[in-house]
Amino acid sequence: MKPTHIEHIGIAVKSLDEAIPYYEQLLGSSCYAIEEVADQRVRTAFFKIGQTKIELLESTSPEGPVGKFIEKKGEGIHHIAFAVDGLEDALEKVKAQGIRLIDEQPRKGAEGLHIAFLHPKSTFGVLTELCEDKNKTK
Ligand code: CMX
């Protein structure tokens, strides 16, 4: 497996309304999309920085993964996402290395990407996402 780039860095925040102005100033660009991912119980806000995005994550439920994360650790970096070509193959490869998968099969994430998470307990404490944009033009 050889990821092509860091697709995004996910940052857990208590409030998008409060965090967005800070990132707009820091990055010198506007938030270009806000999207709710209902099955993950988050609202997401996106910024572009080169080929990489910053994804702010606001929980819509204290029982969701980001709600639980903030309760336990507070706001901060939540996950890192690597772009790969061939997500199914990549998952098979990491599984064969003994890495624990949260998602055995890719599922739909924000922005129409196909995504799958690797468990932080087998990735040195970093919640890791692999993702593929099947609509990208090569
Ligand atoms: N980074 C590092 N460690 C994390 C973590 C994170 N983001 N989230 C949870 N953990 C750790 C916890 O600290 C805890 O560690 P300890 O046992 O040492 O205390 C352990 O993982 C278990 O955490 P938990 O709070 O009991 O939560 P669960 O086991 O129910 O779930 C996880 C943990 C990672 C499986 C779950 O959060 C998950 O499935 N995450 C993937 C999906 C996700 O995060 N979606 C939100 C973003 C969606 C998007 O980008 O669109």
pLDDT tens-digit profile of 98-124? 999 999 999 988 888 999 999 999 999
Whether 138 maps to a domain, the answer reads no
* C-beta separation of 127 from 120 below 8 A: yes
80: domain CATH number?
3.10.180.10
Structural domain total, the chain: 1
Q: Ligand 1, atom 42: nearest CA belongs to which residue?
A: 65
Q: Is the CB of 70 under 6 A from ligand 1?
A: no
Q: What is the domain range of residue 120? A: 5-132
Ligand 1 centre and the CA of 68: distance in Å?
8
Whether 137 maps to a domain, the answer reads no
Q: Ligand 1, atom 41: nearest CA belongs to which residue?
A: 117
pLDDT tens-digit profile of 62-85? 999 999 999 999 999 999 999 999
Torsion of CA 14, 109, 63, 94, to 10 degrees: -110
Full-model pTM = 0.95
Ligand 1 centre and the CA of 137: distance in Å?
33
